[in-house]
Chains A and B, each alone.
Chain A
Amino acid sequence: MQEPLIFTHSRTGRSATGQYPHAAAADVPEKFRRKRRAELPEVSELQAVRHFTRLSQLNFSIDTHFYPLGSCTMKYNPRACNAFAMLPEFLDRHPLAPESVSQGFLACMFELQEMLKEVTGMKGVSLTPMAGAQGEFAGVAMIRAYHKARGDHDRTEIIVPDAAHGTNPATATMCGCTVVEIPSLPNGDTDVEALKQALGPRTAGIMLTNPSTLGVFERRIQEIAKLVHEAGGLLYYDGANLNAILGKVRPGTMGFDVIHMNLHKTFSTPHGGGGPGSGAVGVGERLLPFLPVPIVGREGDRYRWLDARDVPQTIGRLSAFMGNAGVLLRAYVYMRMLGRAGMQRVAEYAALNANYMLARLQQAGFDAAYPGRRASHEFIITLKRQAKQLGVNAMDFAKRLLDHGFHAPTTYFPLLVPECLLIEPTETEAKEELDGFIEAMVAIQREAEQDPAKVKGAPYTLPVRRLDDVRAAKQLDLTYQRG
């Protein structure tokens, strides 16, 4: 099934006139006036609705498919979160409306800050970063500001494990730091000896996530925290994997000084086909003065915005207003519906599902990247053997899974595990769904042994087959040109 471009439905003079306001001619002096109209579609309302509805049907999504994309936490996005965040009063509230007519909204934001402090063990939270990468930026910028405020200007090195997300080193660079990469041990733990070598008077901090992107808990985290602090550095926690420990361990207790939280992962706000995200940051005592603004404060029973006048050492503003407010409301609703006990069940059932899939896949003959280790909320299967013996690699398995009606796991990340599938089922999937996925993996393995070309040609049942990425990058076609 394919859907033509909307421009091909376009006919001069056709439009959804019911959407036009009554308007007199605009008053624009000649020199400022647009001479030729932009080439936007000219379609009826039905044509637009049908076109975009059909496009939606070309997607896999959580609502339609099991989506075990490692490191992305594709859990159910409760519909109530959307419905309550889209109450008309919330939608119509202007970001610069006076505080006197914003107390209901501010109360939600203040309570969200407090709940995030409670689950992370941090002393302060700012909700303003608009995505995980911006939360990371805020974290590293605060670490930099902390050292600068102490006159410690040489501390510009950020230590990053080789298993880290690409955003970690990219963020460090964006903050004007240099990146020092340290290796992981064969069992998935951080190489503490290499860390000791890397630490020194230039160390600004370390960026870690725990459990790591290898899907295992860093057992020596307290020792690592002690070493980094003794060397004068600070610890940053990448919240990408918070779902694994929600309600079980607090990053603050582990010794982290700053954390960003992907509310679109752990707190179930939608991924929306690539955003909006939300990357709220939490900090310990040392970094409190540097939090990005605005923050919601409370005085008696009144809520108000705190800005640079209240937080003079702030790293500043990261968005035009207060960040992705509508996403924050969804996260707030989610946390209220989960409640105290529900919060702890998240990590428990995420871990149960991941460990169950790992055990079943191993029993079916697949190789775990870290055998003998407990899975956290996710785990890695390596298809190195299949690639060598059968010529069928991780990408081929991923594409064939699509034909079986499963979104593929994350492939080729982390970079240091060859031919890997990073699998994260999340707590909201039922056992039957996990069993179905495992059966599909077994069927693909059998097919790879009997007819490897069949697997390598997958997918067959989707709107398109494998796409020519080389052509896409070489013969750039980034906009439609009318013929």
Chain B
Amino acid sequence: MPFIPHTDNDVREMLAAIGAPSIDALFEEIPAALRIKSLAGIPEALTEMETGRLMQQRAGRDGRPLNFIGAGAYEHHIPAAVWAIVTRGEFYSAYTPYQAEASQGTLQLLYEYQTMMASLTGMQVSNASLYDGASALAEACLMAVRAHRKSKSARILVPASLNPTYVDVARAITEGQNLKFDVLPYEATSGTFGTTALDAFRGQDITAVVVQQPNFFGLLEDVDAIADWAAANNALLIAVVNPLSLALLKPPGEWGTQATNKGADIVVGDGQPFGVPLSSGGPYFGFMTTRMEHVRQMPGRIIGRTVDLDGKPGFTLTLQAREQHIRRSKATSNICTNQGLLVTAATIYMSLLGSAGLEKVAAASQTQTSALVAALTRIKGVKLAFAGPRFHEAVLQLDRKVSDVLEALAKRGIVGGYDLSRQYPDLGNALLVCATETRTDEDVAQYAAALSEVM
């Protein structure tokens, strides 16, 4: 019996102690009419070896095409040490650290993570993670409504240059809370939005403005001007960022040109670039940082350092009065489990790379994307949509249908980018491409050669 250790003798002794004639008798309180007669839809058991063969076949069927998609999930080198430690049973098979004395490893690691994320984003406090970047944005919108007590409108401004799936998720999760989302269009020439779009809302009660940096097209938004506008118009500012980009870019806590400007109020994003494999979209983790004044409105677990009975330092879950297991229907969120294991990966990743290493990874990714853009735009029928400064993604416009091109590339072992034409019909046949430090010059040349054939 897989994973069940009982011998016949164990079962006999245990039933005798219970005073039950059979295991079946333990289910006597369940009405007979409800009992399952057959599980015909479940196949017979496979041994571990047989299961391994099956999974190898399935995995092999998809192969390992050369990937040039980003769009919210990025292929980076993951040091071997990261998952060797993450999959240690002591991290892998532990529960949420409710018994602090028996969970100091997880708790201290989360405290170290909070410190690193706060510093990276230029904020004061961090929670211990949310599910992913998209749901983190939804939580940030709900948090902004709670934190901005003077605003009564629950109106959130979301740019069209923000990952459209993030907006879909934010709408779905906040659906029962009467939030109103207004869309800020981007400028057709630059692919970014600015104070012109925001000025349409000047003088109105706006709870929060969202800005993604770099935006969904990989372009850099004028975050200083946007932060100044939010401060001048009494709106909170929610920043959605790629954490890797912060090795190079001004952290959200420093956005704005005015000395009085405190930058973003809430910073969220997906932590996947830090040591988490692409893995078909998850598990990743969402992060959230904020300023101390908002900490009691923040959702999710928060770890604090304190002392034990002997005065020795130790770590524990804190500010639990915000959470569902204490506050029940009045909690800041229903979140319970988060993404602890992925945070473990990210913390080890950040420790191995350090700030200097992250700068190298970010710079190499930007350089390879520039090389990719240069190589592809030399092909007839391919042009760059937006010329402004960018991080490691770019929008290309093709003179034919993107989905056909992508299928043809897939046959050549290349996953060529993300088709924007459905979510952004105004951009025509638009393709979002990405190259990270994992794409070599040869990879770029291979893509260019394949695209030349296809076009």
Contact = CB atoms under 8 A, between A and B. Distances in A.
A166 B331 contact: yes
A282 B181 CA distance: 30
A320 B281 contact: yes
A91 B71 contact: no
A185 interface: no
Nearest to A375: B26
A379 B95 CA distance: 19
Contact of A132 (B59, B101, B292, B337): B337
A43 interface: yes
Contact of A23 (B43, B77, B363): B363
Interface stretch (A193-201, A335-343, A446-454): A335-343
A59 B337 contact: no
Given A92-B75, A174-B334, A477 B352 contact: no
Given A26-B366, A338-B2, A473 B418 contact: no
Interface stretch (B4-12, B199-207, B231-239, B376-384): B4-12
Interface stretch (A12-20, A228-236, A381-389): A12-20
B116 interface: yes
A273 interface: yes
Contact of B6 (A323, A413, A430): A430
B73 A95 contact: yes
Interface core residue of A92, A167, A325, A356 (most chain B CB under 10 Å): A92
A483 interface: no
Category for how many chain A residues contact B: 35 or more
B287 interface: no
B217 interface: no
Contacts of A40: 116, 119-120, 350-351, 353-355, 358
B42 A343 contact: yes
Interface string A419-445: 000000001111100000000000000
B450 interface: no
A60 B102 CA distance: 5
Given A84-B55, A170-B329, A318-B135, A114 B280 contact: no
Contacts of B336: 131-133, 166-167
Contact of A166 (B20, B45, B112, B328): B328
A53 B88 contact: yes
A171 B177 CA distance: 12
A259 B359 CA distance: 46
B415 A101 contact: yes
A373 B339 contact: no
A371 interface: no
Interface in A1-56: 2-3, 5-7, 15-17, 19-29, 31-35, 37-43, 45, 48-49, 51-56
Given A28-B389, A98-B410, A276-B341, A476 B58 contact: no
B319 A94 contact: no
A346 B93 CA distance: 19
A38 B282 contact: no
Interface in B312-361: 312-316, 318-321, 323-331, 333-342, 344, 347-348, 350-361
Given A131-B335, A325-B281, A351-B26, A55 B108 contact: yes
B269 to A, nearest CB: 11
B282 A322 contact: yes
Interface core residue of A119, A276, A351 (most chain B CB under 10 Å): A276
Contacts of B177: 174, 176
B35 interface: yes
Nearest to B366: A26
Nearest to B438: A21
A219 interface: yes
Interface core residue of B3, B26, B56, B178 (most chain A CB under 10 Å): B3
B350 A41 contact: yes
A472 B335 contact: no
Given A170-B324, A275-B340, A336-B46, A254 B34 contact: yes
Interface in B82-114: 83, 85, 87-97, 99-106, 108-109, 111-112, 114
A24 B348 contact: no
18 contacts: A43-B354, A53-B85, A80-B52, A93-B278, A104-B57, A118-B42, A133-B336, A133-B337, A275-B337, A316-B175, A317-B172, A318-B169, A337-B47, A466-B308, A473-B319, A476-B319, A477-B304, A478-B305
Query: 7 closest Cβ contacts across the A-B interface?
Result: A339-B45, A63-B89, A321-B281, A176-B176, A272-B341, A316-B172, A95-B281
Given A219-B30, A276-B340, A430-B6, 9 more contacts: A23-B360, A31-B224, A40-B351, A48-B351, A327-B282, A355-B14, A355-B26, A431-B5, A479-B111
